[in-house]
């Protein structure tokens, strides 16, 4: 049985060469993001964002909620995959990040599909549960502060419809989940959520060993 292949820089470059469908808008946004403090570390990998767009298309998602906008790269990719009457609600704690993203959303002609909410993610999710109602979202993507992941997951599970998809980013958290000496609140939260998800019979589950770990949970 084949095991996980170790992806060298050269092999990763090959994968990108034969599969990444890039364009000027996407590459311009990546370049601007990399120049920001921590931009390289916080930016979603291009192939991961392309995969998110594929998931949006496969699920036929018309209502998507994103927890953690940053500079809006994943937002852009997912919005492009939605129908023209789709609605993507993206949430961030700071308005400065969506301000960087908005010109790129406009260039891509998807700004009318995107609604930005600024505030603590837990509070916004509670508001959305009231506004939209439970079982109303098709897909929820979580890529925010890791200490909040357990709470965000529970609220996302209420918000997403049966058969809908929750996607959690950074679920190996730079490999720190294996480091027993890593007891910071972010690492502990990710580690504990991973363990809980394995036995959560409310969802079907797969953790992908791509990027920084990507977990898919389909609500039963």
Give me the tens of pLDDT residue by residue for the chain, a chain 220 residues long: 578 888 899 999 999 999 999 999 999 999 999 999 888 888 999 999 999 999 999 999 999 999 999 999 999 999 999 999 999 999 999 999 999 999 999 999 999 999 999 999 999 999 999 999 999 999 999 999 999 999 999 999 999 999 999 999 999 999 999 999 999 999 999 999 999 999 999 999 999 999 999 999 999 9
Give the chain's largest Cα–Cα span. Answer: 49
Q: Where are the domains of the chain?
A: 23-219
Judge residue 103's burial from the number of C-beta atoms within 10 Å of its C-beta, 0-12 exposed, 13-18 middle, 19 or more buried.
middle
What is the model's pLDDT at position 3? 82
23-219: CATH topology:
Rossmann fold (3.40.50)
**Cα distances (Å, whole numbers) of residue 203 to 58, 104, 125, 161:** 18, 35, 19, 11
* 57 half-sphere exposure, CB direction, 13 A CA radius: 9
For 64, residues 6+ apart whose C-beta sits below 8 A from its C-beta are 56, 78, 82, 86, 87, 88, 89, 137, 138, 139, 140, 141
């Amino acid at each position: 049985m084949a095991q996980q292949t170790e992806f060298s820089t050269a092999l990763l470059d090959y994968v990108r060469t034969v599969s990444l469908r890039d364009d000027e808008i996407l590459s311009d946004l990546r370049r601007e993001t990399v120049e920001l403090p921590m931009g390289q570390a916080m930016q979603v990998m291009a192939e991961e964002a392309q995969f998110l767009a594929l998931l949006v298309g496969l699920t036929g998602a018309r209502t998507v909620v994103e927890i953690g906008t940053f500079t809006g790269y994943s937002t852009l990719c997912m919005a492009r995959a939605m129908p023209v009457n789709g609605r993507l609600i993206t949430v961030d704690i700071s308005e400065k990040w969506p301000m960087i993203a908005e010109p790129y959303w406009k260039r891509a002609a998807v700004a009318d599909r995107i609604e930005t909410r600024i505030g603590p993610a837990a509070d916004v999710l509670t508001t959305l549960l009231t506004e939209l109602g439970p079982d109303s979202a098709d897909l929820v993507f979580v890529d925010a502060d890791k200490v909040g992941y357990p709470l965000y997951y529970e609220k996302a599970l209420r918000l997403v419809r049966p058969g809908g998809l929750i996607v959690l980013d950074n679920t190996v958290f730079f490999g720190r989940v294996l480091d027993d000496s890593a007891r910071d609140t972010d690492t502990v939260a990710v580690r504990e959520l991973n363990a809980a998800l394995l036995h959560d019979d409310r969802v079907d589950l797969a953790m992908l060993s791509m990027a920084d770990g990507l977990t898919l949970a389909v609500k039963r």
